[in-house]
Amino acid sequence: MVSFVATPIGNLKDITLRALETLKAADVIFCEDTRHTLKLLNAYEIKKPLCACHKFNERAAAEKIISAAREGKAVAVVSDAGMPVISDPGNIVCRALREEGVDYTVIPGANAALSALILSALPADGFAFIGFLPDKAGEKRRLLEKYKNLDLTLVLHVAPQDVDRDICAVYEVFGNRKACAVREITKLHEEAVHFELKDGLAGEKRGEYVLVIEGAENENPLCKLSVKDHLLHYISGGMAKKDAVKQVAKDRNAAKSEIYKIALEL
């Protein structure tokens, strides 16, 4: 059996009993960084053979995992922190196991995105996890455009060197929104800093961040009309032209002077 095992995201005590049992019972552990995983195993006096499974060798690692599983070995797959596959290596392995008909399971545990969502206090009844944004500006913008009008809280992973650049990119596409930057989750200096996208995030950027952003407001269906038809909707309902201009400008978050110019044509 192959087991994808969640590991602590900061505090080493945040490991489940099942995770420890699985790691102790494993014949081999595939991990993102053997040095990082060794620290966790040493903390719990676990000694097992370690093999690398990272983004640069995942396909080759998947073949080794399949081979080991077919030999009847117990295989554990972990990433450096949190849940494998989720913004971490492992998805290619999952697909390969499924295609080859090799059984696998998951040992759940710590998760940075969900922890950050709770710490942010932003709406959690519906959310979309985006993960890391692409490096290239064009690809980054195209991805963000897909989420621009989604009325769900958005969750991103951000490396410290990318925080300012990514916040700027999000602001350019989304406009101003409330946001929360969460870092050092489960550690001594855990913090959740609330800010608005237009202001950026102040201070030195250290450690991995989870950026939580409020969703788009539900769009007024009248805004799908042309400005003329939008004005006529209110005027035909008995509203004075001057008041209709004010209301349309408010609905569309537009300047009244621009709406007034169009109103003059009516």
Selection from 77, 39, 73 nearest residue 61 by Cα = 77
pLDDT score of 209: 98
- Identify whether residues 7 and 68 lie together within a single domain: yes
Higher-confidence position of 16 and 237: 16
Average of per-residue pLDDT across 68-84: 97
pLDDT score of 220: 72
- Identify whether residues 91 and 47 lie together within a single domain: yes
- Identify whether residues 26 and 101 lie together within a single domain: yes
Last residue of a domain, one of 110, 136, 156: 110
Residue 16's pLDDT band (boundaries 50, 70, 90)? Answer: very high
pTM for this prediction: 0.79
- Identify whether residues 50 and 77 lie together within a single domain: yes
Residue 218's pLDDT band (boundaries 50, 70, 90)? Answer: low
- Identify whether residues 231 and 204 lie together within a single domain: no
Output the CA–CA distances (angstroms, integers) from residue 20 to 76, 82, 214, 244, in the order listed: 11, 14, 36, 66
89 CB-side CA count, 13 A:
20
- Identify whether residues 200 and 168 lie together within a single domain: yes
- Identify whether residues 11 and 76 lie together within a single domain: yes
Host domain of residue 34: 2-110
- Identify whether residues 117 and 207 lie together within a single domain: yes
- Identify whether residues 23 and 83 lie together within a single domain: yes
Output the CA–CA distances (angstroms, integers) from residue 254 to 47, 178, 182, 235, 247, in the order listed: 64, 20, 33, 18, 10
- Identify whether residues 121 and 59 lie together within a single domain: no
- Identify whether residues 143 and 129 lie together within a single domain: yes
Average of per-residue pLDDT across 226-245: 83
Contact present, 99 and 107 (Cβ < 8 Å): no
Average of per-residue pLDDT across 67-76: 98
Local structure of 201: helix, strand or coil = coil
Determine what percent of the chain is predicted with pLDDT higher than 90: 79
Last residue of a domain, one of 78, 110, 142: 110
- Identify whether residues 48 and 129 lie together within a single domain: no
Residue 219's pLDDT band (boundaries 50, 70, 90)? Answer: low
| Predicted confidence (pLDDT) per residue in 152-208, tens digit | 999 999 999 999 999 999 999 999 999 999 999 999 999 999 999 999 999 999 999
**In the predicted model, is pLDDT for residue 222 greater than 80?**
no
Average of per-residue pLDDT across 25-54: 97
**What mean pLDDT, rounded, does the chain reach?**
94
What's the CATH number where 63 sits? 3.40.1010.10
pLDDT score of 34: 95
What's the CATH number where 121 sits? 3.30.950.10
Last residue of a domain, one of 110, 140, 158: 110
